[in-house]
Chains A and B, each alone.
Chain A
Amino acid sequence: MNDDKINENNSEENVPKICRRKFLNTMGNTATGIVLLGGLGVTLDFLKPNVILEIPKEFKVGPIDSIQPNSVIYEPEQKAFVVRDEQGSFYALSAVCTHLGCTTKWNASGIGGNPKAIISCPCHGSLFNKKGELIQGPAQRGLDKFRLRLEDNQLVVNTSEIVSDEEMILKT
């Protein structure tokens, strides 16, 4: 308000000079502001990689005939257990512990004298059963289950698709 008054007062004496000054100031300030904000945007854009060197989310396990019933295949790169149960159906579990993201281990002959296969986490001792269901904390829920599908008799696991207990089983 005060500024406007001053301008109005001054304008009576030298109208074009003040207008010009104001215009140049505004133009300069606006452009500088946009440059600063834009520069920040450009930098943020730069910081976000457009391509990353990561393995694909989908991977082939192999022909289904080559996997024996009642066996498990661990894919270290994808951190996934691919399991074929006694009935011959398949499912895939994430090997990443739901507590703080350590990689769990499949103990085929059980631990602590219990002969049942069990999945254990080395970091904080969470235990999961063969189906990935929680047995003992500190994890709060069971392991993630991945979507499985068949493609030309090849078993394909998609680690980007997490499914429910009912959906995870692939019958053959």
Chain B
Amino acid sequence: MDNFSKEEQLQQLSEIRSLMERSSRFISLSGLSGVSAGFTALIGSAIAYWRIEIHTSAAGGYSRYSQYTNSLLLELIFIAIGILVLALSFGAFFTLRESKKQGQSIWDKSSQQLLGSLLIPLVTGGLFCLLLLEHGILGMIAPATLIFYGLALVNASKYTLNDIRSLGFCQIILGLLNAKFMVVGNGILFWTIGFGIMHIVYGIYMHYKYK
């Protein structure tokens, strides 16, 4: 070992660390995917808010969930799906770009584990929200999406950048607060904070941290 120079030893250590990270975690998440998901959510919330206003004011002011007609609900569901698809496509685009930069394969054991640990709480949450919709418990849908999304992030943080964990906890707390202070029209506000603003703040933070 004496014949190794200090630079070589330092380089060995950094290579060891990089191999440990690259082989066990999917680290090619880009902060920009967070920012783009956040903006998509903001635009989506604005459209949803506007549609709700139009529908409920036509029905005579006061918004109550009982006034939400099936056509409005259908519109809201389509808006939600649209946001999801857009946010995922932006996310996939930036992640793909980042993984090329990092030299990490997009489809290896770590990314599969990441996806699996994300999907279990997310799919459960999605099905649960459909059941809430079926039973007409509309006020609980926004809190449930936030809580299950938060749980998915905490669960997935084992297989990716650790920072995702605290974002998950923030979403869970926000969801619980929303469930506690459930007033008609409140959901969209919490939803905008959680999926919109928090993603943007977090994305910017991550982007500069890992640049």
Real binding pair: no
Spell out B's residues near A (CB within 8 Å).
none
Could you list which residues of chain A lie within 8 angstroms of chain B, going by C-beta atoms? none
